Structure 1
Amino acid sequence: MKIVLDNVVKTFDTFRAVHGVSLEIGSGELVALLGPSGSGKTTILRMVAGLEYADGGAIRFGDQDATNIPVRERGVGFVFQHYALFPHMTVADNIAFGMKVSRRKRSRAEIEARVGELLSLMRLDGLGGRFPGQISGGQRQRVALARALAVDPRVLLLDEPFGALDANVRRELRRWLREIHDELGITTLFVTHDQEEALDLADRVVILDHGRIVQEGSPEEVCRNPASAFVTRFLGDTNRLEAQVRGGVARIAGGSIAADGVPDVHAEIYARPADLEWAGAGAGLSARVLRVLDRPDSRRLVARLDDGETVELDVTPETVVSVGDQGAVKLRRANVFSLA
């Protein structure tokens, strides 16, 4: 089921939350809406669900204008961050609830068979008789997804579904959700403010800021070719250095990097910790190590450049370096944006 948003607008009192957003989500595609708090991503999701109505523009499901269709008639499955399970119902009854109240009548045997299928699909075999308070947070979120899928939705909507879980459980569920999506092929719109989550899960990432789309593309496209300084900063740790661009080259004391397409102006260079290299001596930006941060699979250096700027860079765990060491930071890759 293809979803099309055509110049959609939403205003709350005097605050405009969504400014003319146009977006097409292909049938069977998993798209992540990514952005900081207040960027409009959840409002867009709720308009697609029918929980909010657009003040302007149109929303289409395939060839059907769904802009003003009531939520019960849209055929969407919705998964919330905090599960929204009925605590007094068993896992099996929670999954069956939507089928029992649906306008499409099913026999008890049909409902029980579908619940059994979903318990197996969600890796919840043997837990159907338990209550939500008797299972883990990750299992509760699987129950919430099973309940959303039980009514055979045309569209699946997920609003930060892993936000209430710890990091290890989130990573496990991300892999599992991608497997489920690939198996079922349901058109899925996924809201998150977690960059890693969006990049790991989505076929396409749509980045929002103040109710507008500022970039969309595959995870590779948005990571390797960010459209703006905002996107670069939002997508993860980055170092910012000021530079002067002349003739397509951004220059700072001790180093330079290509700046194709950037006019001859004052500019800013953004380089991620993995884009910088540490050298004990030689050409580069002269720097002194302030801290060494050890991680299981890497080391991160915090270094101060001669001009007083502080940068962070990643090195291999085997790199021999200590606080106070003097050396040079080399730019391997960076993005350059005009300040004009």
Structure 2
Amino acid sequence: MKIRLDNVVKTFDTFRAVHGVSLDIESGELLALLGPSGSGKTTILRMVAGLEFADGGHIYFGDQDATDIPVRDRGVGFVFQHYALFPHMTVAENISFGMKVSKVRRSPAEMSARVADLLRLVRLEGLGERFPTQISGGQRQRVALARALAVDPKVLLLDEPFGALDANVRRDLRRWLREIHGELGITTIFVTHDQEEALDLADRVVILNEGKIIQQGTPEEVCRNPSSAFVMKFLGDTNRLSGSVKSGVASIGGVTLDADGCPDGAAEVYARPSDLEWSRESGIPASVLRVIDRPDGRRLVARTAGGETVELDVPPETVVRAGDEGFLRIVRMKVFAA
């Protein structure tokens, strides 16, 4: 099912949550809406679901204008962050609930068979007679997904589906959800503020801020070619260095680097910790403030001669101590007008 948002607007009282968003979601695509709190991502998801109605613009499911269709008639499956399972119902009863209230009538035998199929799909065979309080948080989220899939939705919507779970469980469920999506091929939109989650899972990432789309593209496109300083900062650890640009050349701390395409004037240079190297020979003069050791590497906190604090990753065998003097070498960077 292809979905299209055409200049969609949503206002709450005097606050405009979504500013004329237009977006095409291909059939079978797994799309992430990513942004900080208040960026409009959940409001967009709820409008697609029919839980909120747009104040302007249109939402299309295929060729059908679904803007004003009630949620019950849209054919969507919705998974919430906090499961929203019925505590007095067993796992099997929770999964079958949507089928019982659906307009599509199924016999008890058909519903039982469908529940069994879904329990196998979400790898919870043998747990159908347990209650939600008798299974783990990760298992409850799998039940919530099975319940959403039970009514054969045309579109699957996930609102911060792993936000209430610990880091290890989230990683496991991300891999599992990607496998499930590959098997079922349902058009899926999920909302998250977790950059790693979006980049791990999505075919395409839409980055929002203040109700507007800032950038969209594949994980590779948004990571390697951020369109703005906002995207660069939002997508992970980054260092900002002040500089200036003249005739396509950036000057930072006495070092000149190519900045083709950036206008002349004051500039901000962004580099991730992995984009910097520590050198004893040449670069931007700096001193080490702190050495942080981690299982997979070593990170330095350093201060440039200009007083800017940066972090950089070095090989774990690098011999360096707090107080050492040296240089920062920029391997990769993005330059934006200040």
Q: TM-score, normalised by structure 1?
A: 0.99
Which amino acid in the other structure matches residue 26 of structure 2?
Answer: G
8 Å CA contact 1:293, 1:299 repeated in 2: yes
2-structure distance, mates of 1:325, 1:40:
46
2-structure distance, mates of 1:31, 1:261:
30
Give 2:175's aligned residue. Answer: 175
Bigger mean CA deviation after superposition, 159-168 or 254-263: 254-263
Give 1:36's aligned residue. Answer: 36
2-structure distance, mates of 1:105, 1:37:
40
2-structure distance, mates of 1:88, 1:316:
54
Question: 2:328 aligned with 1:329, yes or no?
Answer: yes
CA positional deviation for 1:256: 2.6
Give 2:217's aligned residue. Answer: 217
CA positional deviation for 1:322: 1.2
Which amino acid in the other structure matches residue 337 of structure 1?
Answer: F
Query: Structure 1: which 4+ aligned runs deviate by more than 6 Å?
Result: none
Q: How does 1:185-264 map to 2 (within 5 A)?
A: 185-264=185-264
Give 1:49's aligned residue. Answer: 49
Which amino acid in the other structure matches residue 102 of structure 1?
Answer: S
* Aligned partner of residue 162 in structure 1, secondary structure: coil
2-structure distance, mates of 1:89, 1:205:
36
2-structure distance, mates of 1:19, 1:314:
39
2-structure distance, mates of 1:115, 1:220:
38
Give 2:112's aligned residue. Answer: 112
* Aligned partner of residue 77 in structure 2, secondary structure: strand
Which amino acid in the other structure matches residue 148 of structure 1?
Answer: A
* Aligned partner of residue 240 in structure 2, secondary structure: strand
Give 1:92's aligned residue. Answer: 92
* Aligned partner of residue 175 in structure 1, secondary structure: helix
2-structure distance, mates of 1:131, 1:152:
24
* Aligned partner of residue 226 in structure 1, secondary structure: coil
2-structure distance, mates of 1:323, 1:49:
54
1-structure distance, mates of 2:232, 2:224:
9
Question: 2:138 aligned with 1:148, yes or no?
Answer: no
2-structure distance, mates of 1:200, 1:258:
31
Question: 2:292 aligned with 1:293, yes or no?
Answer: yes
Please give the per-residue CA displacement for 1:102-157, whole angstroms capped at 9, x wherever unaligned.
Answer: 11000001000010011011010111111000100000000000000000000000
Give 2:69's aligned residue. Answer: 69
1-structure distance, mates of 2:176, 2:29:
16
Bigger mean CA deviation after superposition, 244-253 or 133-142: 244-253
Which amino acid in the other structure matches residue 305 of structure 2?
Answer: D
Count of residue pairs the alignment pairs up: 338
* Aligned partner of residue 251 in structure 1, secondary structure: strand
CA positional deviation for 1:263: 1.2
CA positional deviation for 1:292: 0.9
8 Å CA contact 1:254, 1:283 repeated in 2: no
1-structure distance, mates of 2:268, 2:177:
38
Give 1:274's aligned residue. Answer: 274
2-structure distance, mates of 1:44, 1:256:
44
1-structure distance, mates of 2:186, 2:217:
20
1-structure distance, mates of 2:257, 2:310:
17
Aligned-residue RMSD, C-alpha:
0.6
CA positional deviation for 1:308: 1.0
Give 1:161's aligned residue. Answer: 161
8 Å CA contact 2:238, 2:270 repeated in 1: yes
8 Å CA contact 2:253, 2:305 repeated in 1: no
Q: TM-score, normalised by structure 2?
A: 0.99
Which amino acid in the other structure matches residue 288 of structure 1?
Answer: S
Question: 2:132 aligned with 1:124, yes or no?
Answer: no
Please give the per-residue CA displacement for 1:264-294, whole angstroms capped at 9, x wherever unaligned.
Answer: 1100000000000011x11101111111111
CA positional deviation for 1:257: 2.2
Please give the per-residue CA displacement for 1:71-92, whole angstroms capped at 9, x wherever unaligned.
Answer: 0000000000000000010101
2-structure distance, mates of 1:257, 1:191:
38
Flag structure 1 segments of 5+ consecutive residues without an equivalent.
Answer: none
8 Å CA contact 1:255, 1:330 repeated in 2: no
Give 2:301's aligned residue. Answer: 302
Which amino acid in the other structure matches residue 168 of structure 1?
Answer: N
Give 2:282's aligned residue. Answer: 283
* Aligned partner of residue 322 in structure 1, secondary structure: coil
